[in-house]
Structure 1
């Protein structure tokens, strides 16, 4: 039995009866579309496909887009411990989000509350401080209770007055707190007299007072737990019924310093996420600079992650750093003592999760309120490292130490940040040769890529490492993105013997603090809503099935022709100069020849930046501008050679040479010296979403002239750098819009037919179930919407709708709507 299969005790979520598919997606569409495409689906009901583990689909939480503080973590006060710093963000100070009336000073001295809680506020007699919360302010609801707490130090007899107001007046009766001397925690409770999204919390003092950890929590957290989670967000995650919870990242895991806290290192500034920083009493936990450009409090820490996973019935899956930085930093830490310390920290983490209460770290878990072990079975080491050899050498050290003491733990490796390329290939070779149990893959690509690559895992070695698809998304929250992801998920299920775990990413986004798109669940301080992608994930995750039933479908005729398009030049955070652009047809005819001696009138400026002709070259001078695309030529050009000379003048990256340019959202470009000048790649943009077709390590030198050539023949492209072939590709894989998978409920034998029709025409389909005996009535959930529809706080066009189909038979016809996902539960007698 696989280690994952041990989690089969979690309740199956296959839909039954009339309650089937309560998570459908249907925006009203015409009953009879003008265009119809005919398909067949043949189901081999007598055959057995791969088993699907209960942990197949899960969620990945990373503190990005204010997902923790100001998000899932229910604390309503921002910068509650006065620890914000310029190390977090250039604009931050210890008083960010606070306003002062009177005398107040942030202090970092020996009188602090705790060694890791460095800064506190010295508030003068008769003075006050007011906190603005997140988004528009502190959200309170009429009749709800809110728990205030503060750590304070003052002479006995000092009185604190705590108020909750907005611009219209009082939101709750004020509270008096009597301070009795040295550092101690004081508490009070508010009951909101009215609802407001713009509340402000004020603390005033009658005498000189030191304040720290000023906190306001809703009494009603998820499961009413103290130091708890925001109820609506946690409930939306729980509604997915995830099989696992991956945490805490992501780029948070392996960026920043791996060192211990110390005076020399500045204590809590720019330190990689390490689990021991996040447990114990909340007032003794550190804060830290978040990789995504803000501060993270660690009020939501490892204990809370484990507890949340348990509450929602998910397998906990923590990720620890391997001492190789990622996410563009690309540095291997060479320090044997530090490596040993991190390995021991990982062993201590396992003890914290699983150890008896008599052990050191199991005792801390029990002291925090959870005597029973959490039952950790999987742990991931590292995240998206771009140095595969350096990473794998350290990974092997972690794995050996873990397996020596805990052979029951599955140790997960990874394959870097992309779906293909030199890093990916090298990492997978090392993982295979090293006999790794499971490899974490990550990729973010265009909807077209997901439609083209449904068969990605069909050819993976069934005897090799299993796949954990830890991060994936199609670069948008429109219905077309979710539709492409749904089509791809049918391929994940079909390959459930290889793909053992899969999680969309990222999970959460506060609409006022966004560093990354797309995201599954969106929120502000008053509301939350599921994206179209959330609805797809919920549908699949609530209706997995126990086993795949082999099936096949006819395909859509491929109508693609040769690769056509104009040409272009661009830069990204770089200044570069271009010259001698020449485009010739396959028969040698000149289509474009421009040495810029007469200006640049033939070029159309469609991106940003500052383009001028200087000394007979076309120069982009704005180093801050991203995607400065200029284009020339005919969108119908085909079978041509593009030649250009280029020189990097300054900046972070290299050159972007575009070809096959149809418009601003549809083109290819050769990205030379991208990703902070660490690698080069060919990227394809389709409706604005990009996918990587080739990637290789490489950088571009400043001040050196490069000869660049792109040869287009049919759908094959060959690229040359300084006369040497750099690479080639053939873009001839169809973006199949019609995909299906069938799964079975092992208990009842019922079939779940899942069909994605990602095209603007109806799919009139003949379904052949062979000799299976079936009920004629089947609950159906269909989701369909315009491809550009997006769910928002006030409008959710992607919404579940259910119906009943009464024409099921061993062979029957069904017409699937345009742009739709349809789940049909077929009752086998």
Structure 2
């Protein structure tokens, strides 16, 4: 996923610009809308991949440490550093209990990758509170403690306790003895006698002298599948309940982005890009690395654990490796031939680690870790959301050739950049088609309206071209309206199962105290796990896939297209810019608004807390080069059919200009994003409810200090954009929102037809279903998700949850699908012979 796709405004979806009659307020709409669904049960449509729906794991929102990875101690090896996060110190997560604990890095370190350790001048101790509000301890459960330690005394007593914040013991303390100057691992276990969600781990050395500690660990014995160094049980079980067909890992942006030190570093004091070899072997020998998302990751959850987890949940493993072209806003490519060759070899070694025999170099390492049998790797992704298409594809081609030469059975997956359309998307798809790439990874995060408008997206894809892996997608919020839009879209994915072979919603996990991205499928804290509305939709589809599509069709919803209407706006994104001579004229030439900034900026309404706007030397200047989406607006929200002209000059920063039109509020507007995505491309985007969709784009970049004349002409739903007097681009935003969608599949094992209907509107859908060519049993099983569009599942309440019922069916039957609902009807069929 790309940072540039994340809107700053935390606003809700209000009204769409395209309103079917059924989306009108309840008082103004019919009680029901009539539909007909016709199913040709005698025909067979596309086969559906056994692995079609999977999960994508990325360490974002503290998904790994403090999340799926069951370790309870934060910063267990004292490797946190201000170079990674300005708020960090080597003692982040720790507090002195007594004495003056110091973190040192010298020749006495545990190993080269674990350089820092804690030095205690005795007697002294430290306390760790874990993540969230503290360490969760459950009465009657066992917790395993371990630490690497050494002492300058013949022996040093070490006491370890589990307490609440007041110091009251939650379990009987451990009494250990550290002996000698060599690093040694010491272990023990607690049996909790009291439950707490605010637990603390107290480690204290007694006596005299100096005690050194490293890799201080506390693990619940009760992990998923009882794996040592394993997964948090309730989180893992929530993922397993989806029955995913694949597990994509270890992430998106964190895979193909390096720190500001680049890909390599002279030693382990510095951070480098995610590399799989750093994450295997004994845990105490693995690195701690700076995560792209702003915090450290311990690599305790590494490639071996990912492969093992995929196996445990019955999912196909699908790792993604860097192509040495950074994406996610960084946009640079390596020219280091030796480095490229080394990463290609690392990727070949990865396949050997996964599949090689025990007498191979990397197969032996897998066996040493406890898994002599191969993991059965069949698919591997190279790269993620690269915005430099030609540079990426040149390097991808090198990876692909090397992998296919040695491992021709491996499907090597390319990608199409960070968005659903645009210049990068088009160029990468051209390159992928021309090179006969087997599968292409698409990513996009869009508004609910976009998903309701684009159900037919894959209908027009080349059936003989590369297959699609929809590796990341979601509607941009976590309300039921978002899940409904996603469900409607998924009917189109299934209908095109011959093109879309794999699909995974993203992101998978979010710790409620460390949220960096929304939406997310599964939410958690240190004591509870709950699925979002989107989780319930994904689970319903993933556990009722079917083996092939059964051809079907439905009638449409009457719709009304309104003209693009709204005020105007100016904005920036990580950029200082100056605007001047803003003018809005009607289609008849009447001046509706004009501002040459010879006075004040009283005509403009800023967005509170964003940017630093001021009239300077006759221009309206936004001077903050860090602030994102600094929107100021002016004019009448009822304006339609107008021309907006403005002069824009970039002063400094990483991007260009954002000129908005059709502005209804801070979350619903269009804008011309000239020089966006770190000044690598330009686009017109439509924002709805805080989510954005790209309508047109190209590779235009912006020069610092140059003044550009920008003009936007709005006529009905058609928009033309002129740059320095030349037509830059135009589009007609006339895609229809279709809230009623359906698809039918057949479950070969049970013989059932699975009718899947999404009614994403406030009106009930009275539907006549014709099952042609099928003899059916009378009673069908029904699973329904229904609720208010703004419903949100939380830790305390889950308004969006499946309800089971039965339905009488026949060759032709009528059923009313509730407003705002997803309904799956499993219809048993009888042999007609």
| TM-score normalised by L of structure 2 | 0.94
User: Paired residue for 1:159, among 157, 168, 183?
Assistant: 157
Say whether the 8 Å CA contact 2:261–2:270 is kept in structure 1.
no
Corresponding residue number in structure 2 for 1:212 = 214
Corresponding residue number in structure 2 for 1:231 = 233
How many angstroms apart in 1 are the aligned matches of 2:702 and 2:388?
A: 19
User: Paired residue for 2:107, among 105, 110, 117?
Assistant: 110
Shift of 1:601: 3.2
Shift of 1:80: 0.3
Corresponding residue number in structure 2 for 1:532 = 533
Listed as ranges, the matches of 1:209-358 within 5 Å are: 209-256=211-258, 265-267=266-268, 269-358=270-359
Give CA-to-partner distance per residue, 1:396-419, whole Å, 9 cap, x none. Answer: 111111111111111111111111
Corresponding residue number in structure 2 for 1:26 = none
How many angstroms apart in 2 are the aligned matches of 1:570 and 1:552?
A: 44
How many angstroms apart in 2 are the aligned matches of 1:384 and 1:629?
A: 27
Corresponding residue number in structure 2 for 1:198 = 198
Corresponding residue number in structure 2 for 1:35 = 31
Corresponding residue number in structure 2 for 1:20 = none
Shift of 1:771: 3.9
Corresponding residue number in structure 2 for 1:775 = 777
Q: 1:598 to 1:259 in 2, by over 3 A?
A: closer
Shift of 1:313: 0.4
How many angstroms apart in 2 are the aligned matches of 1:762 and 1:257?
A: 52
Say whether the 8 Å CA contact 1:66–1:510 is kept in structure 2.
yes
1:366 is aligned to 2:344: no
Shift of 1:600: 3.2
How many angstroms apart in 2 are the aligned matches of 1:618 and 1:392?
A: 42
User: Paired residue for 1:741, among 737, 743, 753?
Assistant: 743
Say whether the 8 Å CA contact 1:270–1:290 is kept in structure 2.
no
How many angstroms apart in 2 are the aligned matches of 1:139 and 1:696?
A: 51
Corresponding residue number in structure 2 for 1:462 = 463
How many angstroms apart in 2 are the aligned matches of 1:648 and 1:796?
A: 48
1:590 is aligned to 2:586: no
Shift of 1:703: 2.5
Corresponding residue number in structure 2 for 1:4 = none
Say whether the 8 Å CA contact 2:576–2:625 is kept in structure 1.
yes
1:171 is aligned to 2:170: yes
Q: 1:60 to 1:596 in 2, by over 3 A?
A: same
Corresponding residue number in structure 2 for 1:751 = 753
Corresponding residue number in structure 2 for 1:57 = 53
SS of the residue corresponding to residue 535 of structure 1 reads helix
SS of the residue corresponding to residue 458 of structure 1 reads helix
How many angstroms apart in 2 are the aligned matches of 1:39 and 1:369?
A: 57
Q: 1:268 to 1:239 in 2, by over 3 A?
A: farther
Give CA-to-partner distance per residue, 1:400-451, whole Å, 9 cap, x none. Answer: 1111111111111111111111111110111011110000011111111111
Corresponding residue number in structure 2 for 1:826 = 827
Give CA-to-partner distance per residue, 1:451-477, whole Å, 9 cap, x none. Answer: 111001000000000000000011111
SS of the residue corresponding to residue 729 of structure 1 reads strand
Say whether the 8 Å CA contact 1:441–1:469 is kept in structure 2.
yes
Shift of 1:361: 0.8
How many angstroms apart in 2 are the aligned matches of 1:491 and 1:320?
A: 29
Listed as ranges, the matches of 1:425-436 within 5 Å are: 425-436=426-437
Shift of 1:598: 4.2
User: Paired residue for 1:684, among 678, 683, 686?
Assistant: 686
Corresponding residue number in structure 2 for 1:418 = 419
Q: 1:44 to 1:268 in 2, by over 3 A?
A: farther
User: Paired residue for 1:662, among 655, 661, 664?
Assistant: 664
1:186 is aligned to 2:186: yes
SS of the residue corresponding to residue 767 of structure 2 reads strand
- 4+ long deviations beyond 4 Å: 257-262
Corresponding residue number in structure 1 for 2:132 = 135
Shift of 1:613: 2.6
Say whether the 8 Å CA contact 1:258–1:323 is kept in structure 2.
no
Q: Which moved more, 1:290-299 or 1:695-704?
A: 695-704
Say whether the 8 Å CA contact 1:258–1:272 is kept in structure 2.
no
Shift of 1:680: 1.6
Say whether the 8 Å CA contact 1:104–1:124 is kept in structure 2.
yes
Q: 1:51 to 1:261 in 2, by over 3 A?
A: closer
How many angstroms apart in 2 are the aligned matches of 1:718 and 1:499?
A: 33
SS of the residue corresponding to residue 498 of structure 2 reads coil
How many angstroms apart in 1 are the aligned matches of 2:619 and 2:108?
A: 63
User: Paired residue for 1:653, among 652, 655, 668?
Assistant: 655
Q: Which moved more, 1:452-461 or 1:682-691?
A: 682-691
Shift of 1:257: 6.1
Say whether the 8 Å CA contact 1:126–1:205 is kept in structure 2.
yes
How many residue pairs end up in the alignment? Answer: 797
SS of the residue corresponding to residue 601 of structure 1 reads coil
SS of the residue corresponding to residue 721 of structure 2 reads strand
Q: Which moved more, 1:229-238 or 1:40-49?
A: 40-49
How many angstroms apart in 2 are the aligned matches of 1:426 and 1:34?
A: 46
Say whether the 8 Å CA contact 1:478–1:532 is kept in structure 2.
yes
Say whether the 8 Å CA contact 2:674–2:683 is kept in structure 1.
yes
Unaligned runs of 5+ in 1: 1-29
Listed as ranges, the matches of 1:391-540 within 5 Å are: 391-540=392-541
Unaligned runs of 5+ in 2: 1-25
Corresponding residue number in structure 1 for 2:90 = 94
Q: 1:651 to 1:405 in 2, by over 3 A?
A: closer
Say whether the 8 Å CA contact 1:575–1:620 is kept in structure 2.
yes
Q: Which moved more, 1:417-426 or 1:640-649?
A: 640-649
Shift of 1:691: 1.1
How many angstroms apart in 1 are the aligned matches of 2:367 and 2:660?
A: 59
Shift of 1:690: 1.3
How many angstroms apart in 2 are the aligned matches of 1:539 and 1:721?
A: 48
How many angstroms apart in 2 are the aligned matches of 1:376 and 1:745?
A: 27
How many angstroms apart in 1 are the aligned matches of 2:806 and 2:139?
A: 42
Listed as ranges, the matches of 1:697-776 within 5 Å are: 697-776=699-778
How many angstroms apart in 1 are the aligned matches of 2:565 and 2:108?
A: 70
Corresponding residue number in structure 1 for 2:15 = none
Say whether the 8 Å CA contact 1:469–1:503 is kept in structure 2.
yes
SS of the residue corresponding to residue 177 of structure 1 reads strand
Give CA-to-partner distance per residue, 1:297-330, whole Å, 9 cap, x none. Answer: 0000000000000000000001111111111111
SS of the residue corresponding to residue 614 of structure 2 reads strand
How many angstroms apart in 2 are the aligned matches of 1:271 and 1:669?
A: 36
Corresponding residue number in structure 2 for 1:559 = 560
How many angstroms apart in 2 are the aligned matches of 1:770 and 1:558?
A: 29
Say whether the 8 Å CA contact 1:773–1:810 is kept in structure 2.
yes
How many angstroms apart in 2 are the aligned matches of 1:405 and 1:673?
A: 42
How many angstroms apart in 2 are the aligned matches of 1:414 and 1:151?
A: 43
1:81 is aligned to 2:77: yes
How many angstroms apart in 2 are the aligned matches of 1:433 and 1:814?
A: 48
Shift of 1:655: 1.6
Q: 1:558 to 1:620 in 2, by over 3 A?
A: same
Q: Which moved more, 1:166-175 or 1:312-321?
A: 166-175
Corresponding residue number in structure 1 for 2:18 = none
